[in-house]
Chains A and B, each alone.
Chain A
Amino acid sequence: DTAVSQTPKYLVTQMGNDKSIKCEQNLGHDTMYWYKQDSKKFLKIMFSYNNKELIINETVPNRFSPKSPDKAHLNLHINSLELGDSAVYFCASSPSGTSASEQFFGPGTRLTVL
């Protein structure tokens, strides 16, 4: 059983479209995250939710909106996609929100904006 799963694995879309990436974890963790890995391989945190409450919100365009319907899910919705949004997006979860806590990552979603 996959611990942290993301769908879709690949996403190719046109500029200006709206798209969503879904994430689910079956580990019973309290905290979930979204990271972006850009072409320079930087892995940067975007958002963190602890028990469905937003605790980290980095400087991310407000076109990106996370939604946590329950503790096991954290979806990422992106409006008006731009070329610069092309990247690999990773979802992760951890037992607690403390940064010393090991994070478990999903396999990533490669988003390509044309």
Chain B
Amino acid sequence: DQQVKQNSPSLSVQEGRISILNCDYTNSMFDYFLWYKKYPAEGPTFLISISSIKDKNEDGRFTVFLNKSAKHLSLHIVPSQPGDSAVYFCAASPGGYQKVTFGTGTKLQVIP
């Protein structure tokens, strides 16, 4: 049962343009949402998070938007840079000490 879905396995964007990565979830108990970035042969690294009481969180070039009614979140990267080329994982959790559930990732390629 895939509770966190990233339906686009890959995305290509030109350098300088906006990258939009999407994530859908099914569990209405999820309260915290996180994005991780992963380079080949490395572990995921935390990028940005948002709690369900907010609909937007921004950190530099990265912004996460949350639409609770649609059970959808998105990560915007503006402007995209070649170093952003990586696999991006969406993750969600009900909070507390409960587990974090990850999506299957979207591979972003930023073309110079």
Chain A residues proximal to chain B, CB less than 8 Å: 4, 40-45, 48, 50, 55-56, 58, 90, 92, 97-100, 102-108
Q: Give chain B residues whose Cβ lies under 8 Å from the Cβ of A48.
A: 97, 99
Number of interface residues of B (CB under 8 A): 24
Q: Give chain B residues whose Cβ lies under 8 Å from the Cβ of A98.
A: 95-97
Chain B residues proximal to chain A, CB less than 8 Å: 31-32, 34, 36, 41-46, 49, 51, 89, 93-100, 102, 104-105
Contacting residue for B97 out of A43, A44, A90, A97, CB 8 A: A97
Tally inter-chain residue pairs, CB-CB below 8 A: 62
A58/B49 contact (C-beta < 8 A), A40-B104, A100-B93, A107-B41 known: no
- Would you list the 7 A-B pairs with minimal beta carbon distance, nearest first? A105-B43, A99-B93, A43-B102, A102-B46, A100-B32, A45-B99, A41-B104
Q: Give chain B residues whose Cβ lies under 8 Å from the Cβ of A108.
A: 41-43
Contacting residue for B100 out of A45, A55, A90, CB 8 A: A45
Query: A98 vs B93: C-alpha distance in the bound complex, in angstroms?
Result: 10
